[in-house]
């Protein structure tokens, strides 16, 4: 039987229903906000797989083109592999949901969110979080929820919940938030240098909207009789735990004092093999869990040392930042390059400048859009000393690249100031913590190295958290990979000296308080300013000139009605200009023309040719034209490319001329004056009108005076 609940969700009304669609799933709900309708289903296997010792959770968000009454483009005319937007939404749903499953539940679980209707005005990814939480809560799958989510924007100093796409265009902050009734579990934000206090204010505002969404979920849950499944919990024998802990403790103490990651990992692998070898006969059925038990012991020891002594895995204090080095201009043929190294994390950013035709075209349900700034992130297996296949970008690459891109977006100049398409590629050459924030730093350095007029640097830092029942929470600055893995929070903050530009928070616990967030923000600010100081010592302002290998751009506007003249029949005219000058030309529908060339003179030549095409020929104008055709009644003169005029035989000279072929041949150049332009665009010119009264400026330009001109005419007549 269908159950429907609804209630206030900020300034809108949110409806959740179940019992009508997808009834064979363990749990399914329909989330409706305005005309947006999302179906979210959850299914879990009845038993765990033999030998499995981890929780296989899969989350997929998909948008159907029919949701906005569209047919997919391309040959196949159906939805294909997930787009970046769908992958990012899948990650957004996964992150706040995953930590809330019981630790002993490892049955394979799948969450699918499908957008069936979209109004094209409001983003629907946060509805996926609410739907996943509610579907899990009403299903028989064990889940320690519920959680809620919302999107917040700061527009003209006012906080707005569930902003429309139009409102986001004007926003100084876009914040996506997920959490429980009391804590925050996930944050994503892009901002225009927002202060820490404004960010905290937005988080507190959004948390109230989260509570609204949880209240609606609880209304639905209260109307249903829910029985959670019985499952075989994943239990490890206590005697095995104690044996492994005892056998590994002393070696782990030594291992945890090795500062180099590769040496540390080598010793850890050696320890694992030795313990497995010694216990393989006694605990044959549990050999695959031994590495995890050793890691548990190692985690406990690392955390205990930080709590009691304030000393981290590499010997740093809780606020210390690893050694940083910056270099620029490493790659001679790239338009900009920078190498940022922080401890054992290293990002090489290579920047390319292009034209408008290089913009990324994005086809979403809301319509087609273009991006002129892109940051792509690559994480090859050698960066962590491993072997792996080189395939297309996965969820990690897309997510990390998106975070770094939006962190730098706030300082990218407008098209009016810098009309280039900008692509940065961050190649991670080494990784031991926060490679996405290293990409922000290397990307910022590469922008200045390329001469992109950004106003200031952007730096990023990753913060960690250790929470203990017996002590105050400890926040760690610039966390390493193990501190991310063994800690309770991964809190990435990017920004300038003036404020925050990018933010991402994930927790491995059930959430953190606003007080902890506040402390994390201001500790991150200290670290960010320290990193900015080092970056500014390398390069403090953009280079005055772009690379000699980068295209030179000339931009100007013509009348929209003249676009066809520049392009010509079948593109003949524009192809001719490109062939003659070697430039690249982009023409927008509004008449804006962009010429890209490797040298400025070629661009100027192309501009001159286009100017001549679109110039209106007026009475009294003087041209040096080329004879294209001679008839018995006159000659046709090409004044400008594609524009011809008739010089009647009577307008060649004051004397009577019987045959123009005696005086002219095709290809000759002749100076003429426009004497008539009729309503149909037909042009008449005269040579004889110039003989006695040449335009003084024209005479000076072509070194012509009346006396010499007349002498040449007399000599022709004598001949």
Does 619 score more than 50 pLDDT? yes
Distance CA 345, CA 429 (A): 8
Distance CA 555, CA 596 (A): 9
pLDDT at residue 405, as a whole number: 97
Helix (H) or strand (E) holding 115: strand 109-117
Over residues 417-423, mean pLDDT? 93
Does 713 score more than 50 pLDDT? no
* 184: its two tokens: 């925050």
568-577 per-position pLDDT tens digit: 888 888 998 9
pLDDT at residue 691, as a whole number: 67
pLDDT band at 707 (very low <50, low <70, confident <90, very high): very low
Does 74 score more than 80 pLDDT? no
pLDDT at residue 712, as a whole number: 42
Does 176 score more than 80 pLDDT? yes
Asked if omega into 146 is within 30° of 0 (cis), the reply is yes
194-249 per-position pLDDT tens digit: 999 999 999 999 999 999 999 999 999 999 999 999 988 888 889 999 999 999 99
Over residues 524-529, mean pLDDT? 96
pLDDT at residue 309, as a whole number: 92
H-type alpha helices, 644-705: 688-691, 696-702
Sequence-distant (≥ 6) Cβ neighbours of residue 697 within 8 angstroms: none
Distance CA 593, CA 584 (A): 10
pLDDT at residue 471, as a whole number: 84
What is the model's pTM? 0.84
pLDDT at residue 700, as a whole number: 52
Does 589 score more than 80 pLDDT? yes
Q: Kindly list the strands in the beta sheet with 324-328, ordered across the sheet, starting from the edge strand earlier in the chain.
A: 324-328, 336-342, 345-354, 421-430, 373-378
H-type alpha helices, 321-430: 395-409
pLDDT at residue 696, as a whole number: 54
pLDDT band at 716 (very low <50, low <70, confident <90, very high): very low
276-315 per-position pLDDT tens digit: 999 988 888 888 889 989 999 999 999 999 999 999 988 9
Q: Are 104 and 233 in contact (CB under 8 A)?
A: yes
Q: Tell me the domains of the chain and their CATH numbers.
A: 3-221 (3.30.230.70), 238-309 (1.10.10), 324-538 (3.30.230.70), 552-614 (3.30.1370.10), 622-718 (2.40.50.140)
Cβ neighbours around 219 below 10 Å, total: 14
Does 564 score more than 80 pLDDT? yes
Which of 25-39, 477-491, 580-594, 686-700 has the highest mean predicted lDDT (pLDDT)?
Answer: 25-39
Distance CA 130, CA 146 (A): 8
111-158 per-position pLDDT tens digit: 999 999 999 899 999 999 999 999 999 999 999 989 999 999 999 999
Instruction: Point out the least confidently predicted range of 16-20, 198-202, 383-387.
Output: 383-387
pLDDT at residue 345, as a whole number: 96
Over residues 385-398, mean pLDDT? 89
pLDDT at residue 693, as a whole number: 55
Instruction: Point out the least confidently predicted range of 372-381, 430-439, 609-618.
Output: 609-618
Does 704 score more than 70 pLDDT? no
Mean residue pLDDT of the chain comes to 90
Does 710 score more than 70 pLDDT? no
Over residues 698-708, mean pLDDT? 47
Q: What are phi and psi of 466, to 5 degrees?
A: -120, 115
């Amino acid at each position: 039987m269908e159950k429907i609940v609804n209630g206030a969700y900020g300034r809108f009304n949110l409806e959740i229903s179940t019992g009508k669609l997808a009834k064979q799933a363990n749990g399914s709900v329909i989330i409706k906000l305005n005309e947006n309708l999302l179906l979210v289903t959850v299914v879990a296997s009845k038993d765990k797989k033999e030998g499995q010792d981890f929780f296989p959770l899969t989350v997929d968000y998909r948008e159907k083109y029919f949701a906005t009454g569209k047919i997919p483009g391309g040959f196949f005319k159906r939805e294909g592999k997930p787009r970046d937007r769908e992958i990012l939404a899948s990650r957004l749903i996964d992150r706040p949901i995953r930590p809330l499953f019981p630790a002993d539940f490892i049955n394979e679980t799948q969450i699918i969110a499908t957008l069936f209707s979209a109004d094209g005005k409001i983003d629907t990814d946060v509805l996926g979080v609410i739907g996943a939480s509610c579907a899990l809560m009403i299903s028989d799958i064990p889940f320690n929820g519920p959680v809620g989510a919302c999107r917040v924007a700061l527009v003209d100093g006012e906080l707005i919940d569930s902003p429309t796409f139009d409102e986001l265009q004007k926003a100084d902050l876009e914040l996506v938030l997920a959490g429980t009734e009391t804590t925050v579990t996930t944050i994503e934000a892009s901002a225009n240098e927002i202060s820490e206090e404004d960010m905290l204010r937005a988080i507190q505002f959004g948390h109230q909207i989260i509570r609204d969404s949880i209240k609606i979920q609880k209304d639905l849950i209260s109307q249903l009789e829910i029985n959670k499944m019985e499952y075989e919990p994943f239990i490890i024998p206590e005697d095995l735990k104690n044996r492994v802990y005892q056998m590994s403790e002393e070696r782990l103490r030594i291992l945890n004092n090795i500062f180099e990651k590769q040496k540390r990992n080598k010793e850890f692998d050696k320890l694992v093999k030795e313990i497995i070898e010694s216990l393989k006969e006694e605990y044959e059925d549990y050999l695959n869990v031994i590495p995890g038990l050793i890691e548990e012991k190692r985690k406990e020891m690392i955390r205990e040392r930080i709590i009691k002594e304030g000393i981290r895995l590499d010997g740093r204090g809780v606020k210390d930042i690893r050694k940083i080095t910056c270099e620029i201009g490493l790659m001679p043929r790239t338009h900009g390059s920078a190498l940022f190294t922080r401890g054992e994390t290293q990002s090489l950013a290579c920047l390319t400048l292009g034209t408008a035709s290089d913009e990324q075209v994005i086809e979403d349900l809301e319509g087609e859009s273009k991006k002129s700034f892109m940051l792509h992130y690559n994480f090859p297996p050698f960066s962590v000393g491993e072997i792996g296949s080189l395939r297309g970008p996965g969820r990690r690459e897309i997510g990390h690249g998106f975070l770094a891109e939006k962190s730098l977006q706030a300082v990218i100049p407008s098209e009016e100031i810098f009309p280039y398409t900008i692509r940065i590629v961050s190649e991670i050459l080494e990784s031991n913590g926060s490679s996405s924030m290293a990409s922000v730093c290397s990307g910022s350095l590469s922008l200045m190295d390329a001469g992109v007029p950004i106003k200031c640097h952007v730096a990023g830092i990753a913060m960690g958290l250790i929470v203990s029942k017996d002590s105050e929470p400890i926040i760690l600055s610039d966390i390493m990979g193990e501190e991310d893995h063994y800690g309770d929070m991964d809190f990435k903050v990017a920004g300038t000296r003036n404020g925050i530009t990018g933010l991402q928070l994930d927790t491995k616990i059930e959430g953190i308080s606003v007080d902890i967030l506040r402390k994390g923000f201001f500790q991150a600010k200290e670290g960010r300013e320290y990193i900015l100081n080092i970056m500014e010592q390398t390069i403090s302002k953009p280079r005055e000139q772009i690379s000699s290998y980068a295209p030179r751009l000339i931009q100007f506007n013509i009348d929209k009605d003249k676009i066809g003249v520049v392009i010509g029949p079948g593109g003949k005219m524009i192809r001719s200009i490109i062939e003659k000058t070697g430039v690249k030309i982009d023409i927008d529908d509004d008449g804006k023309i962009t010429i890209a060339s490797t040298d400025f003179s070629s661009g100027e030549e192309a501009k001159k040719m286009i100017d001549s095409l679109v110039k209106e020929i007026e009475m009294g104008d003087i041209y040096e034209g080329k004879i294209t055709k001679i008839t018995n009644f006159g000659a046709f003169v090409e004044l400008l490319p594609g524009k011809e005029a008739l010089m009647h035989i009577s307008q060649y000279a004051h004397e009577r001329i019987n045959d123009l072929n005696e005086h002219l041949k095709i290809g000759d150049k002749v100076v003429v004056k426009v004497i008539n332009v009729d309503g149909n665009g037909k042009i008449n010119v005269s040579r004889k009108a110039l003989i006695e009264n040449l335009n003084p400026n024209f005479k000076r330009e072509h070194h012509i005076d009346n006396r010499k001109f007349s002498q040449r005419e007399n000599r022709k007549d004598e001949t």
